[in-house]
Each structure stands twice: as C-alpha cells, then as structure tokens.
Amino acid sequence: MPNWLIYAAAAAAAYLLASLLAGRGFGQSLGALGGNFLLGYGSLALLNWLAPASGFAVPINAVTLLAGGWLGLPGTALAAALQIVG
C-alpha cells in the first residue's frame, strides 16, 4: 500500500474525529470530508489536465494530495502558489 494512501486515510480519520468532537453529526462530518476531498483532488486533476494549454502543472505527490484533500480548493491553491514561489 502506498504511503500517501496511508497518510490520506489518517488525515481523513483525524478530520472526521475533529468534526465529531466539534459537535457536528456523523453524516454532516462525513459529507464535509467527502466534499473537501472531491473538490481538492478534482481541482488538482483539472489543473494538471490543463497543463499542456497553460504551461503550468502541480506535481501530484503525497504533500499536494493531502493539502488538496484536507483543505479542498484552498489546498490546491496553496500547492499551486508554492509551486510558483518555489
């Protein structure tokens, strides 16, 4: 099993636990978690799919996947900004 998958599962479990402790219901917490992961991973895939036309791509690795999955769209924007700066 790849390490990034283990990290993503651990991050998802921590996020779910934090939302449950914050007073959200299980369904609402799971929905927020799933929405963030879908938006984050989808935006990374879209950004890299448009790379030939734009000339800009963000490498898909454990750090960018976790940032995009945990934070959603802002995580992808953060990974793109760090790619431009660094």
Mean pLDDT for the chain overall: 80
CA distance 70 to 60: 15
- Residue 77 domain boundaries: 3-85
CB–CB of 11/70 below 8 Å?
Answer: yes
- What is the pTM for the complete model shown? 0.64
CA distance 48 to 40: 13
How many domains, in total, are found in the chain?
1
Indicate if the pLDDT at residue 36 is higher than 70: yes
pLDDT tens by residue, 62-75: 778 777 777 778 88
